[in-house]
Amino acid sequence: MIDVKHIAKLARFGLTEKEEEKFKKELSAILDFVAKLNEIDTKNIEPTAQVTGTINVFGNDETNLICEDKQIKEDILKNAPAKEGRYFKVKRVLE
Amino acid sequence: MRLNELTIAQAARGLKRKELSSVELTQTVFEQIKKRDLKVKAFLSLDEKGALSSAKEIDEKRAHEDILGGLAGIPVAIKDNILVRGLKCSAASKILENYVAPYDATVISKLKEAGAVIIGKTNMDEFAMGSSTENSAFFATKNPYDLQRVPGGSSGGSAAAVAANETIYALGSDTGGSIRQPASFCGVVGLKPTYGAVSRFGLMAMASSLDQIGPITKTVGDCQTVFDAINGKDKLDSTSVDLKKEIRNTKFEIKNLRIGMPKEYFAQGLDEHVDKLVKEAIKKLENLGARVKEINLPYSEYALACYYIIMPSEVSANLARYDGIKYGYSEFDKAGDLMEVYLGSRHHGFGAEPRRRIMLGTYTLSAGYYDAYYLKAQKVRTLIEQDFEKAFKEVDVIMTPVSPTPAFKFGEKIDDPLKMYLSDIYTVSINLAGVPALSMPCGRVDGLPVGLQIVGPQMGEPLIFGTALALEQNS
């Protein structure tokens, strides 16, 4: 049985009791549906992560225009819910 | 014909011959929006001032020089998960309600360079999760053909805006059918390009191995014009690729075309009227000289299950960035500690469907379940991709319905996630295989548009356009 409370915590969601019940029901139904894949034998099949076949695309060690644009930096910070000077403000991380 | 009803090709011709100006064209589009969008509700936000100023700029340029591209001065609507610098970009989510894009997506830079006039941002299902726009945190968009019905989704606002002549064309995004299904419900043309053909830089990531941006237009020719303008490798998206030159230059001839009809897509669950219209469209091409062949895509029946593991897994990783710290809705002031900022902001910022998918993806990626779900689905994905590879050895394009039914009514599926997911049954496998597919109108059932899906091999857009143009010219 899916431990909705634990999953919600991993996903960083608050959860009410009513929501817990609802998720339990809905997620179980979806998981029952996707269990269909177990009908297929995939023993010697390689997994596909994406389809273009490109592997390890490296860029030059340089900043792009977006990082250099002062206005963009300012506009990014404008969207911050809490900030101080040029910094994002967060609650204490280390006790 | 009023100016807002023009196609890109018609508008470009008129502009070039100076029979109309971009300002006039743009004004007429906004007049239509003011009249029609009270009912249709395709737009989340408009930028009339910005649009008129770019239109004016293009008109002035045109007065001095003649060499302007086919999109110059022509209004376009953008799905609200694509960043346009200085405009709000909410992805129809409360968690980004007041977010203003600090830079342009690559597709937007390309359109701006081509002289496009961006008129506003269109409604969608929250974070592109849904098939009806009913999951928008703000309001649902209505189908212009029947206001009691959904426009499809998630790019429902873009498709409805094009169908209601509230824009000349639009951009959408497609992760499992989100361009093609609304295009089919609204009787317009929509392309989901080959994975990587169009840069995803500046598109809010949903499921990164599946997402693609594509055009929604009134005609096939317009669709090709927009695709030509936005595709290409981009150093800001390392998964992007260039279409190969030799493919681009292949000459299309209908009498050499081999069409595959996958048995699995014309089976139980398909509305009989849709079935009939799709088959009639294929028959038309056969009459023009194409050869039609029944084919098998044996793993089709597993595509939806495969998709509903891979997509939520990627969603749960991608949407971790909405944490109440960098942008968007935040409970920073209410919270005592960092964990409470996360829990509260995400709990109250996200709507039901994103939360459902994030929960599901967190579960399928969590310790002890990764192999059973995510890895298993990735292996099935290989089999689905191989299905298409094999099929394209025998045929050039594959034709199927886009969705099992025409547009459904509001409320019909919203309470049952699985029922809603089934509207994507013919589209998700295309994203899993990374191949391109186009939706185009092929008739109507009780006044409601029905879409035909034309699928090509990877990089096979030229073939798809050739086929679609032949059909459009003979309809």
* pLDDT single digits (tens) B233-254: 998 999 999 887 656 556 788 9
Within a domain: B457? no
pLDDT value of position B213 = 98
Q: What is the mean pLDDT of residues B155-167?
A: 98
Mean per-residue pLDDT of chain B: 95
Q: What is the mean pLDDT of residues B255-264?
A: 96
Q: Determine whether B35 is an active site residue.
A: no
Of B347, B385, B418, the CB nearest to A51: B385
Give the DSSP H/E element, type plus range, for residue B387. Answer: helix B376-394
CATH topology of domain A4-39: Histone, subunit A (1.10.20)
Within a domain: B172? yes
Residues of A (3-22) whose Cβ lies below 8 Å from B: 4, 7-8, 10-15
pLDDT at B186 over 70: yes
CA–CA separation, B397 vs B469, rounded Å? 14
Within a domain: B311? no
CA–CA separation, B63 vs B23, rounded Å? 13
pLDDT value of position A2 = 85
ipTM exceeding 0.85? yes
- Contact criterion met (CB < 8 Å) for B343 and A51: no
CB B145, CB B182: distance < 8 Å: no
* pLDDT single digits (tens) B359-374: 999 999 998 999 999 9
Within a domain: B59? yes
- Among candidate residues B132, B178, B199, B316, the one labeled active-site is B178
- What's the pLDDT band for A60 if we cut at 50, 70, 90? confident
Within a domain: B308? no
CB atoms within 10 A of CB A86: 8
Within a domain: B219? yes
- With contacts defined as CB-CB under 8 Å, which chain B residues touch A34? 305-306, 308-309, 373, 377
pLDDT value of position B248 = 56
CA–CA separation, A8 vs A19, rounded Å? 10
Location of structure tokens 């099992």: B404
Torsion angle, alpha carbons of A59, A63, A64, A68, to 10: 180
Domain, as residue range, for B205:
3-246
CATH number (domain holding residue B105): 3.90.1300.10
Domain assignments of chain A as residue spans, ordered by start = 4-39
Q: Determine whether B16 is an active site residue.
A: no
CB B327, CB B96: distance < 8 Å: yes
The total of structural domains in chain B comes to 1
* pLDDT single digits (tens) B281-291: 999 999 999 99
* pLDDT single digits (tens) A1-39: 789 999 999 999 999 999 999 999 999 999 999 999 999
Q: What is the mean pLDDT of residues A71-85?
A: 93
Q: What is the mean pLDDT of residues B81-102?
A: 97
- With contacts defined as CB-CB under 8 Å, which chain B residues touch A37? 302, 305-306, 309, 376-377, 380
